[in-house]
Amino acid sequence: MNAPAATAIVWFRDDLRLSDHAALIAARDAGATLICLYVLDDTETGKHGPRSLGAAAQWWLANSLRALDTDLKKLGQHLVLRRGDAHEVLPKLTREANAKAVFWIDSEVPAEAARARDVAEALKEIGVEVHVSASDLLASPQSIRNKEGHGLRVFTPFWKRVRAQGEPPRPLPAIRKLPPPVVSLKSENLEDWQLEPTRPDWAGGFRETWTPGEAGGHKRLHDFLDGAIKDYAEGRDFPSRDHASHLSPHLRFGEISPRQVFHAARFAAERHPALSRDIEKFLSELGWREFCRHLLFDHPDLHRRNLQSSFDDFPWRRDAKALRAWQQGRTGYPIVDAGMRELWHTGAMQNRIRMVTASFLVKHLLLDWRDGEKWFWDTLVDADPGSNPGNWQWVAGCGADAAPYFRIFNPILQGEKFDPDGAYVARWVPELSKLPPALIHKPWEATPMELAAAGVTLGKTYPEPIVDHKDARERALAAYRKTRR
């Protein structure tokens, strides 16, 4: 008579998928009966201080967990939900289930890695085996070091080093069958976690825009490589053309892995050589995400501390009214306001517009980049612990591979260049939609007759600019020059 199979737990983290999931495959191949677990560990005040998810990311997480549970049920499994300190939850659950092993995928995010180390120690103390699969980054941070043993701070040599390592391993196949759980464990109710807004329900635009989950991620990838990738290298800068991949939130929650994206893109390039330039540009954007994760590996406090210490005494202003106007898309600069309103409605923003809105906050308003980073952390569905602070520091000039301090985006010229027909502004700032393209990015230059014909009253239906571009630019340059000295 065969002995009953041992029970193992697969701890899902930021890897909410069934394909290319090394831990799930390893647990299945070990012949164990499985318990699939997700722990909402939002103990931000704990030993390692990981950041709690912002409101937009919480919405995404709730829907991603539902999708994963649905996919598991098709295989005869289900997702067990527990909330609390993972250091306490995992040992307790192994006792409940009499589990002999726990499997998970490693994370290079310092707070998550530290948390997992604590969990591993606690499990080993009670005789539970721990099996940790390598993270799904394209390259391990430990493999990209300079002569002093530090990570690289400039993107181009970083990406060359990553590519010189050769292609990342091919993705593992999707799981087609799993053994059913032998032990029936109580799962917490997802609705009790209150991750989604109710009063008011501000997520209507999110539901219109996104389909969280592994299937949604793969559909996005397929549709992108089958269409929007054409002319991506140039078209990605034009917000109304929609050449974006829209993969970032799926990558953020591990519904699709970086190496799945990498190999799908490389396969597309082989099939369609004419797209190779566009695909290489797209891969470099995947590389930038990797770069920011590597920065975070070396600098766990990336969202709080300037990478360049010379900025520690930068004369940031405190202006709650200006910050609120920026957050609400009421700065009087149409391209900036369009971006901030799109962010609020959809939980995302096109890359060029992210740069323009961020530059406006730190250089036109001279407000601390950390104020902007916090707002994006709360309002982006793809708020990533590496990319979000890494990009904000880049714009502010205090980060790695930072934009030169004298690079100050002119929001008027940015609008005229990348939204020449005004379609993007007209969509998100509808009170200006009847202005002609020549005026929609600078309504203050319209004559009273032109404003009246468009139904615009500056200062009432649409705000006057909260700062003069020329004056703001000179103020920012003076502050930056002082800091450099």
Binding site as annotated, residues for FAD: 232, 282, 382-384
288 catalytic, yes or no? yes
- Whole-angstrom CA distances from 361 to 108, 317, 473 are 30, 11, 12
Tell me the two tokens of residue 155.
């993107």
User: Is 351 labeled as catalytic in the residue annotation?
Assistant: yes
Of 434, 403, 446, 439, which Cα lies nearest the Cα of 419? 439
Catalytic-labelled residue, pool 60, 210, 288, 326:
288
In angstroms, rounded to a whole number, what is the distance separating the alpha carbons of residues 310 and 485? 9
The binding site comprises 232, 282, 382-384
Sequence-distant (6+) residues with CB within 8 A of 20 are 136, 171, 172, 174, 257, 259, 260
**In terms of C-beta density within 10 A (0-12 exposed, 13-18 middle, 19 or more buried), how is residue 137 classed?**
buried
Separation between Cα atoms, residue 416 and residue 445, nearest integer Å:
14
Per the rule left: phi > 0, alpha: psi between -120 and 50, beta: everything else, 227 is alpha
**Catalytic option among 188, 280, 285, 416:** 285
Q: Which of 210, 392, 394, 428 is catalytic?
A: 392
Tokens found for residue 54: 């912002």
Contacts of 348 (CB under 8 A, 6+ apart): 209, 246, 248, 249, 342, 380, 381, 382
DSSP reduced 3-state for 12: strand
How many CB atoms neighbour CB 30 within 10 A? 16
Of the listed 369, 375, 377, 394, which one is catalytic? 369
Q: What angle do CA 51, 53, 59 make, to 5 degrees?
A: 175
CA dihedral 413, 418, 420, 421 (to 10 degrees): -140
Q: Are 305 and 296 in contact (CB under 8 A)?
A: no
Residue pair 37/119 in contact (Cβ under 8 Å)? The answer is no
**Catalytic residue of the set 280, 344, 351, 416:** 351
Active site residue 159: no
Cβ contacts of 103 within 8 Å, gap of 6 or more: 8, 9, 10, 11, 23, 24, 26, 27, 131, 132, 133
CA dist 146 to 124, 158, 163, 387, Å?
35, 10, 16, 21
- Calculate the CA 428 to chain-centre distance: 22
H or E segment to which residue 318 belongs: none
Residue 285 bears catalytic tag: yes
Query: Is-catalytic flag, 2?
Result: no
Active site residues: 285, 288, 316, 351, 369, 392
